[in-house]
Amino acid sequence: MSLDPKNPPPAPPQEHHRGIGVKIFTYPKIIFIWPTLVISLICGIGMWLWGDDLHDPRGPAAAGTAAPAASAADTAQAGAPAAGKDKAAGTAAGKQATPKTPSVLIRRFSSWPNIFGILFLFVLTINVMVMAIDFPRFTIIAGILLFLAVTFFLLWLGVFYDLLTPLRDFAESIYAVANSGFYLMIALILGLMFVVIAATRFLDYWEILPNEILHHHGPMSDLERFPTMNLKFDKEIPDVLEYIMGLGAGRLVLHVGNERRSIVLDNVLWIDDKERRLKNLMGRLEVRITTDQEMS
């Protein structure tokens, strides 16, 4: 039996869209806390290599301990009779009562446990600020200009006034340290959170095909269908810092022809690649003819 060349057999159904659609996953805003995860690992490993030494280089500099040392030094300087052993003790006490030198202050602030602590708190602060506040392009430019203006003003003010001494005293008063277990537990908690997010992202995602839009959601994979006829989409970058530190994250807004409300997809990673693939997908007009053999 020969086949009519004018009527070739139809292609198998259900295989037409395979590999063509674009899957879009939305993520919670907490994914942008990954720099804190990284710095927690770095500080934890650093403190573990340091031996978890939390000793303050300045020592117990309480006022109650400094006063007896000073009085002992004054007594020794007054020429009070004492044995050689007492003189040696008075000399040692006088050395302990010597005012702190700038080298001691710098060594205390720049000790590795304090550096790890300050670095962790700094990254955490910037991270939470980025997640809490949106920074558009003009806000970033204004912030940079304001920072430069304040810096040059302080440099100019430092010519007339001594600003280094108060800053040095303030830095000397900061000693924020933690052991490796604290940093590694923070990293473990954040790591488990990212694992849960990656495992549950298939509970709610979108798949855009040339002829329809599929919304998969729910534990039993419920499905919603939307037509792609007259589909339009917009790409938005509401936060430049999230775009930089969030692997190109942004927002996609889908305008479906028969729907009154637009579909807003926040925190889409690699949004530039998604935009390029959607443009290629929407550039195709897919028309399929159903024959009588497929209907039977």
Query: Do 158 and 232 belong to one domain?
Result: no
Query: Do 192 and 151 belong to one domain?
Result: yes
Average pLDDT in the chain: 75
Please report whether residue 3 resides in a domain.
Answer: no
Identify the band that residue 193 occupies on the pLDDT scale cut at 50, 70 and 90: very high
Query: Do 163 and 215 belong to one domain?
Result: no
pLDDT of residue 261: 82
pLDDT of residue 295: 45
Query: Do 167 and 224 belong to one domain?
Result: no
Identify the band that residue 44 occupies on the pLDDT scale cut at 50, 70 and 90: very high
Query: Do 172 and 219 belong to one domain?
Result: no
Burial label, 240 (beta-carbon count in 10 A; 0-12, 13-18, 19+) = middle
Query: Do 108 and 120 belong to one domain?
Result: yes
Q: What is the DSSP string of 220-256?
A: TTEEEEEE-TT-EEEEE-S-HHHHHHTTS-EEEEEE-
Higher-confidence residue: 284 or 279?
Answer: 279
Higher-confidence residue: 281 or 94?
Answer: 281
How far is it, in rounded angstroms, from Cα 296 to Cα 14?
A: 16
Query: Do 179 and 223 belong to one domain?
Result: no
Report, as an integer, the average pLDDT of 272-281.
86
Q: Which domain holds residue 281?
A: 22-30+202-286
Higher-confidence residue: 51 or 91?
Answer: 51
pLDDT (tens digit per residue) in 109-161: 778 888 999 999 999 999 998 888 877 777 777 778 887 888 877 777 777 77
Please report whether residue 142 resides in a domain.
Answer: yes
Note the pTM of the prediction, 2 decimals.
Answer: 0.66
Query: Do 189 and 212 belong to one domain?
Result: no
Tally of domains within the chain: 2
Please report whether residue 79 resides in a domain.
Answer: no
Last residue of a domain, one of 137, 172, 198: 198
Report, as an integer, the average pLDDT of 164-175.
76
Query: Do 222 and 180 belong to one domain?
Result: no
pLDDT of residue 34: 93
Please report whether residue 7 resides in a domain.
Answer: no
- Checking DSSP bridges between strand 22-25 and strand 263-268, what pairing results, if any? unpaired
Q: Do the beta carbons of residue 134 and residue 239 sit within 8 Å?
A: yes
Last residue of a domain, one of 167, 198, 229: 198
Report, as an integer, the average pLDDT of 49-76.
58
Does the structure show a pLDDT above 50 at 226? yes
pLDDT of residue 62: 39
Q: Do the beta carbons of residue 26 and residue 249 sit within 8 Å?
A: no
Last residue of a domain, one of 143, 165, 198: 198
Query: Do 176 and 268 belong to one domain?
Result: no
Query: Do 39 and 179 belong to one domain?
Result: yes
In three-state secondary structure terms, 54 is coil
The CATH number for 273's domain is: 2.30.29
Query: Do 209 and 182 belong to one domain?
Result: no
pLDDT of residue 246: 72
